[in-house]
Amino acid sequence: MPARSTRDPIEIGLAEHACLALVADGASHGWAIGGLLAPDGELGRIWSLSRPLTYRAIDQLTEKGMITRTGTTAGRGRDRRTIAITAAGRRVNRRWLDEPVEHLRDVRTELLLKLELRDRAGLPRAPLLDAQAEALAPIVDALTQVREPDLVALWRRENARAVQRFLSAARAAEATSDATDAATDADSGSVNRAPRATGA
Amino acid sequence: MPARSTRDPIEIGLAEHACLALVADGASHGWAIGGLLAPDGELGRIWSLSRPLTYRAIDQLTEKGMITRTGTTAGRGRDRRTIAITAAGRRVNRRWLDEPVEHLRDVRTELLLKLELRDRAGLPRAPLLDAQAEALAPIVDALTQVREPDLVALWRRENARAVQRFLSAARAAEATSDATDAATDADSGSVNRAPRATGA
């Protein structure tokens, strides 16, 4: 992905980005991050990561200078190494949270994860949703204008339409939510926002 | 999956089913099957499988008595072991080609593969499309009736609608195609059918 490389010389994957965002949000050790990303964790409903892969992502982030070890804290059974985000990590995280995904197939996981992590960081969803709709518009247009499609083209068309409708609905919900936010606190439980702890 | 197990005591995966259907369709050695399932092969546009995994699937099918070794034929460089489907394999294959998929996430790959393989076998698409629409109806209904959804529910709703629209469009195309087939040969190049060799 040369386009991304020019903007971000350090390539990191989705696992690293998710962990980095959670450290930026205040998670201070791998055990806590692993819990948030477990299938029944607060983020796991959107995208889950096993504990071994969580620890591996944290090691990668440390090697790349995006997080730093800060000491240890008492945990159940054994001490846990504590971590914190670095200035470099904060920049990479913020850029990622602002950046739309490239492919339709990334909407279900990466975009939803970014939106949820933006909520946690107190960032509005609307700018990313707008940028995302704009970024995917050419792909969606091309796929939905197919005539006399075969099965694969037919599926791609309906999938593109699903992404388009999802983005429209999310943006509409955001507009409603923004209007409500003018009167109430943004985190007071608007039905249009994903609850932070859902379990299922 | 106990429901499937009672109907089919021999559990085989998607790789095995795809290879089995291709042997049923006349492919007589692993090399040919690997070519059809390569990313640029006739089936690979829908679902691709590497050559090592293709050979592994053929070994599994042989162990399970669904295909049998019939000899060798001259290939480029070395001889190729030839294979043929057994009566048991034919039964398992036909049942699989008639059986709708269980989950929305299987529509893009497994259902499209079955539909394409039905074409190759000269079986009409309509019975499977009808059974599929009926099988997924409760899931689609539940997901599309969600009110005040969070992001994940919103995505699932639009994804369910995409499946619903895909099945409707495919069934409508089939109805048109059936009308056309009354006058012309089914394989004469109806625009509603996936071409057999598409490459991209």
Asked whether the beta carbons of residue A194 and residue B161 sit closer than 8 angstroms, the reply is: no
For residue range A106-141, list pLDDT tens digits in order.
999 999 999 999 999 999 999 999 999 999 999 999
Q: Does A88 touch chain B (CB under 8 A)?
A: no
Kindly list the residues from chain A whose CB atom is less than 8 angstroms away from the CB atom of residue B195.
Answer: 150
Asked whether the beta carbons of residue A191 and residue B152 sit closer than 8 angstroms, the reply is: no
pLDDT computed for residue A178 by the predictor = 66
> Does residue A88 surpass a pLDDT of 90?
yes
Q: Does B151 touch chain A (CB under 8 A)?
A: yes
- The distance of B167 to chain A (nearest Cα, Å) reads 9
Q: Which of residues B146 and A57 earns the better pLDDT score?
A: A57
Max mean pLDDT among A5-14, A50-59, B66-75, B186-195 falls in A50-59
Mean pLDDT of B36-41: 96
Q: Give residues with Cβ within 8 angstroms of B188, minimum separation 6.
A: none
Q: Does A166 touch chain B (CB under 8 A)?
A: yes
Asked whether the beta carbons of residue B193 and residue A150 sit closer than 8 angstroms, the reply is: yes
Asked whether the beta carbons of residue A170 and residue B151 sit closer than 8 angstroms, the reply is: yes
Asked whether the beta carbons of residue A112 and residue B152 sit closer than 8 angstroms, the reply is: yes
For residue range B88-103, list pLDDT tens digits in order.
999 999 999 999 999 9
**Residue B34 DSSP label:** H
Tell me, rounded to whole angstroms, the distance of Cα A30 from its chain centroid: 18
- The distance of A68 to chain B (nearest Cα, Å) reads 32
pLDDT computed for residue B148 by the predictor = 65
Of A11-15, A101-105, B59-63, B171-175, the range with the lowest mean pLDDT is B171-175
> Does residue A81 surpass a pLDDT of 90?
no
Q: Does B192 touch chain A (CB under 8 A)?
A: yes
Kindly list the residues from chain B whose CB atom is less than 8 angstroms away from the CB atom of residue A163.
Answer: 158
Q: What are the backbone dihedrals phi and psi of residue A194, each rounded to the nearest 5 degrees, phi first?
A: -65, 130
Q: Give residues with Cβ within 8 angstroms of A72, minimum separation 6.
A: A79, A80, A81, A82
User: Considering Cα of B176, then B182, then B187, then B188, what sign does the dihedral take?
Assistant: negative
Mean pLDDT of B101-130: 94
Kindly list the residues from chain A whose CB atom is less than 8 angstroms away from the CB atom of residue B108.
Answer: 155, 159
For residues B135 and B117, what is the distance between their CA atoms, to the nearest angstrom? 20
Report the topology of domain B2-96: Arc Repressor Mutant, subunit A (1.10.10)
Mean pLDDT of B125-148: 90
**Residue B125 DSSP label:** S
For residues B123 and B115, what is the distance between their CA atoms, to the nearest angstrom? 9
For residues A80 and A74, what is the distance between their CA atoms, to the nearest angstrom? 6
Chain A interface, best mutation among B43, B115, B158, by max A CB count within 10 A: B158
Among residues of chain B, what percentage have pLDDT more than 90? Answer: 64
**Residue A80 DSSP label:** E
Angle at B171 between CA B167 and CA B175, to 5 degrees: 170
Q: Does A156 touch chain B (CB under 8 A)?
A: no
The token pair that represents A15 in the structure block: 């696992």
- Reported as a pLDDT band with limits 50, 70 and 90, residue A184 is low
Among residues of chain B, what percentage have pLDDT more than 70? Answer: 81
Q: Which residues pair with A81 in a beta bridge?
A: A72
Of A13-22, A79-88, B111-120, B174-183, the range with the lowest mean pLDDT is B174-183
Kindly list the residues from chain B whose CB atom is less than 8 angstroms away from the CB atom of residue A154.
Answer: 166, 169-170, 173
pLDDT computed for residue A181 by the predictor = 59
> Does residue A77 surpass a pLDDT of 70?
no
Note the helical H segments in A101-150.
Answer: 112-121, 126-144
Asked whether the beta carbons of residue B112 and residue A198 sit closer than 8 angstroms, the reply is: no
Residue boundaries of the structural domains of chain B: 2-96, 100-181
Kindly list the residues from chain A whose CB atom is less than 8 angstroms away from the CB atom of residue B162.
Answer: 158-159, 161-162
Of A10-19, A70-79, B22-31, B79-88, the range with the lowest mean pLDDT is A70-79
Task: Find the closest chain B residue to A43 by CA distance.
Answer: B152
Q: Does B142 touch chain A (CB under 8 A)?
A: no
Whether this model's ipTM surpasses 0.85 comes out as no
For residues B2 and A163, what is the distance between their CA atoms, to the nearest angstrom? 34
Q: Does B176 touch chain A (CB under 8 A)?
A: no
